[in-house]
Amino acid sequence: MALKHAVGRKAFETAFNAVYKYINKDREKNMVKLLNLAHKATGDSFPEFFWDNAINMLSDPEQKWTKVIYNAFENLNPNVVKMHVLNLAYEAGLTGFKEVRANREKYQCNVPWIILMDPTSACNLKCTGCWAAEYGHKMQRTYEQLDDVICQAKELGIHFFIMTGGEPLTRKADIVKLAEKHNDCAFHIFTNGTLIDEQLCKDTVRLGNISYALSVEGYEETNDDRRGDGVFQKVMNAMDLMKSYGLVYGVSICYTSKNYKVVTSDEFLDMLIDKGCIMAWFFHYMPVGNDASVDLMLTPEQREYMIHRVREIRAMEGGKPLFCMDFQNDAEWVGGCIAGGKNYLHINANGDVEPCVFIHYSNANIDDMSLLECLQSPLFMAYHNTMPFNDNPFRPCPMLENPEYIKKMVEESGAHSTDFTSPEAVDDLVAKTIPYAETWKPTADRMWEERQAEKAEALAAREAKYGPSK
């Protein structure tokens, strides 16, 4: 199987190189060739209208996403483009995902597409309210431990790894070493951005399979009030450096009741685009931890604004050339909650395997169990057997919108809090989210009814053009 896969990758790489060499000479023709290569590699994993829509889009040079793709070919380093196509698109997104789905059936449990890992709990900053400022030096994953997880994951078809923390780039040498060894995988780094330097950029160009998401929370005053004087400017300088090297990067934004309008404003987003960002990951504030503030949680009106605003940013007409995901409000397109190993899991710096990076409970440790055994552990099987937690994708989370589920799963599985500094009882956690869930439900239900009507209309139009979906 491994030999067959290697031969398939090599054939895809050879074909891609032949097309990519001339990509800018006849973009439309050669982009269609690339799509046909991807279609051949995936077989019937995606419906025909998916490929038809993609070809139609790339046939229009004025279409927003066509411009984004063409700009990437012009501005990104060629090796970075090539390795992202081979590793993120081919290995992780196409052939790897097929293997992941087969293993879900084989082992009758969730098998993720992505694994989040904390190489360390250490951080070079002392952000207000962050436990890493005082306790982060205590926990590290060794290179060998990180490597072992990746090796196990690849056996299940997983080829996409996200490094979190702490500040993962305090371990940049090991991350570069891992990316070099596993040159058939994609690595995405969530970082505060202050440790990005010229040598790291050179290594990223050489390897091609690393991308970055830099944390920002607004403009300089807001950002530095929490993170420290000068941090915002260091992040801006890092973006300038990465842009000069043609790297793939974007931002990670936690939106709250205080900053949600600023971080989605035209001015703020245009600044990021000018800096070379091509993606923005939006995360709803979660009241996790004994000292977490409930005042930063959004009101129903504020969350509804975010849902509409992110869709405006992504819109074909009038939107921004920035790929955006809102991980609380985009559940419609990924089938609800993606945690619990359904599409991802999180391994913290102590080796605890958690169903979600925001839900700090576990009954499995990667140092004591194999990755597959962790996925078959009681808490992960509770996710597997219970999902979806709600038929309304505007209420996907078992903690924030359906807190009765996280309480039930934690208690029945015997999971424990993995908080390093102040373990949080599940009753204390849900006491903060029950009022939120009750307040959000009427708005969420009304919005989903409206969305279903929109989808029905769009489906009718698509089937009139392409015929019934298979």
pLDDT exceeds cutoff 50 at 339: yes
**CA-based nearest residue to 231, from 220, 239, 240, 241:** 220
Q: Are strands 361-362 and 186-191 parallel, antiparallel or unpaired?
A: unpaired
Closest CA to 369 of 344, 351, 345: 351
Average of per-residue pLDDT across 191-209: 97
Q: Say how far apart CA 439 and CA 302 lie, in whole Å.
A: 12
Give the mean model confidence (pLDDT) for residues 10-33.
75
pLDDT of residue 352: 96
pLDDT in tens, 203-260: 999 999 999 999 998 998 888 787 889 999 999 999 999 999 999 999 999 999 999 9
- Residue range 147-175: average pLDDT? 96
The predicted structure's pLDDT at residue 135 = 43
Q: Identify which of 162, 203, 164 has the alpha carbon closest to the alpha carbon of residue 186.
A: 162
pLDDT of residue 137: 59
3-state secondary structure labels for all residues of 92-151: HHHHHHHHHHHHHHHHCCCCCCEEEECCECCCCCCCCCCCHHHHHHHCECCHHHHHHHHH
Same domain? 126 vs 36: no
Q: Is residue 69 part of a domain?
A: no
Q: How far is the C-alpha of 414 from the C-alpha of 22, rounded, in Å?
A: 57
DSSP code, position 169:
G
**Is 66 contained in some domain?**
no
* Shared domain check, 94 and 52: no
d(CA 51, CA 53): 5
CB under 8 A, 24+ apart: contacts of 40-49: 41/8, 41/12, 41/90, 41/94, 41/95, 42/94, 42/95, 42/98, 43/98, 45/94, 45/97, 45/98, 47/469, 47/470, 48/466, 48/470, 49/462, 49/466, 49/469
How far apart are the C-alpha atoms of 207 and 189, rounded to whole Å? 14
Out of 149-158, 275-284, 378-387, 419-428, pick the least confident.
Answer: 419-428
In this structure, the answer to whether residues 359 and 446 fall within a common structural domain is yes
Say which residues have a Cβ less than 8 Å from residue 105's Cβ, sequence separation at least 6: none
Among candidate residues 30, 59, 88, the one where a domain is terminated: 59
Does 30 have pLDDT greater than 60? yes
| Element of type H or E holding 40 | helix 27-42
Residue 53 above 80 pLDDT?
no
Q: Which residues of 181-206 are buried (b: 16+ CB within 10 A; e: fewer)?
A: ebebbbbbbbbbbbbbeeebbebbbe
Assign 205 to helix, strand or coil.
helix
Token readout for 270 is 């245009």
Distance of CA 465 to the CA centre of its chain: 33
Domain that holds residue 413: 77-469
| pLDDT at residue number 261 | 97
Looking at residue 356, what DSSP letter applies?
B
Does residue 258 share a domain with residue 198?
Answer: yes
For the record, the structure tokens of 355 come out as 């169903």
CA 118 to mean position of chain CA atoms: 15
Where is pLDDT greater, at 101 or 467? 101
Does residue 72 belong to any structural domain of this protein?
Answer: no
What beta strand segments (E) does 315-364 contain?
323-326, 344-347, 353-354, 361-362
Q: In this structure, are 324 and 438 located in the same domain? A: yes
Is 70 a domain residue?
Answer: no
Q: Are residues 54 and 167 in the same domain?
A: no
Q: Report the SS3 class of residue 71.
A: helix
> In terms of Cα–Cα distance, which of 61, 65, 37, 64 is closest to 51?
37
Q: How far is CA 463 from CA 56, 239, 467, in A?
A: 16, 44, 4
Among 349, 355, 381, 382, smallest CA distance to 367 is for: 349
The whole-number pLDDT of residue 41 equals 66
Please report, for the chain, how many H helices and E strands are present, in that order: 18, 11
233 and 259 together in one domain: yes
For residue 295, the domain's CATH number is 3.20.20.70
Among 22-26, 63-67, 230-234, the least confident range: 22-26
Does residue 68 lie within any of the structural domains?
A: no
Does the residue 71 lie in any domain?
no
**DSSP3 helix / strand / coil % (the chain, rounded to 5):** 55, 10, 35
Beta strands in 208-362 (DSSP E): 210-215, 249-255, 279-284, 323-326, 344-347, 353-354, 361-362
What total number of domains does the chain contain?
Answer: 2
Measured CA distances, 182 to 149, 153, 431, 455 (Å): 12, 11, 43, 41
Determine, yes or no, domain membership for 349.
Answer: yes
| Same-domain pairing of 222 and 341 | yes
pLDDT at 128: 61
Lowest mean pLDDT among 222-231, 240-249, 308-317, 420-429: 222-231
Residues 141 and 50 in one domain: no
User: Tell me, what's the pLDDT at 379?
Assistant: 98
Does residue 232 sit in the same domain as residue 308?
Answer: yes
Assess if residue 347 is contained within a domain.
yes
Sort residue 417 into left (φ over 0), alpha (ψ -120 to 50) or beta: beta
Query: Residues 209, 163, 114, 74: is their CA dihedral positive or negative?
Result: negative
Whether residue 53 sits in one domain with residue 115: no
Alpha-carbon distance of 204 to 77, in angstroms, equals 10
Predicted pLDDT at 82: 92
Bridge partners, residue 116, by sequence: 162, 346
Average pLDDT over all residues of the chain:
90
Model pTM score: 0.92
Do residues 53 and 81 share a domain?
no
What does the pLDDT average to over 105-116? 98
In this structure, of 140-144, 245-249, 455-459, the range with the lowest mean pLDDT score is 455-459
